Amino acid sequence: MTRYENILFDLDGTLTDPRLGITKSVQYALNKMGIRENDLEKLTKFIGPPLAYSFQEFYGFDEEKAWQGVEFYREYFAVKGIFENKLYEGVPELLRELYAKGVVLAVATSKPTVFAEKILKHFEIDKYFTAVVGSNLDGSRVDKGEVIAETLNILKIDDVEKTVMIGDRKHDIIGAHQNNLKAIAALWGYGSREEFEEAGADYVVEKVEELKAFLLGNEIKAGF
């Protein structure tokens, strides 16, 4: 018996830790635009939100310049950065057990679908997911609410009470609530407890094992 019949997972910061690949890709893009940033730690804020949005928010780029940054980012990411990534400990076991119990699993990410599919295949966890939905390379469907809506549409889910979204940034929580889903915040990723509280996360879990226990129906403390 599991707590939910359908589970949507964010990718970056939830299933995998993409820190090195994303920060080096951003560093590469900024360098091509005449901005030197030697401290990769300062670029971790790019993990999670849509890229164009982050270039505008953190560097004051206008929309055209932000998309130029995205194009430069992809030059590095598509070849090397995509594989500078690692699974969080316990994730393969979590997915395997949920899948074995008949839970419908999907990935809902702001990362372009083509990159998300390659990452899942690289780590050999693609077999667990019924649907993988991300943004489009042309910049459309980057909003997490839109991504989640399309995922629900593909899965033909009508009963949202039996469905949950799991992610590590406020965008996951907000996007879930826009689609009337409950949202579980993953503290092992790149969001803070304060960020999740402000966004109104329904549950907060600190470790993958804690998430596993909660999803399998065990009564544990999963909150602020």
The catalytic residue positions are 10
Find all residues with CB under 8 Å of 215, minimum gap 6, and list them. 2, 3, 4, 7, 94, 98, 103
For residue 87, give the amino acid letter.
L
End-to-end CA separation in angstroms for the chain: 25
The H-or-E segment that residue 28 falls in is: helix 19-32
Calculated CA dihedral for residues 131, 101, 208, 8, nearest 10 degrees:
30
Cα atoms found within 13 Å of the Cα of residue 160, Cβ hemisphere only: 14
Helices 63-77 and 51-59, axial angle in degrees (round to 10): 120
DSSP 99: H
- List, in sequence order, every beta strand (DSSP E) within the chain: 6-9, 16-17, 86-87, 104-112, 131-135, 163-167, 182-186, 203-205
- The sign one gets for the Cα dihedral 199, 54, 14, 155 is positive
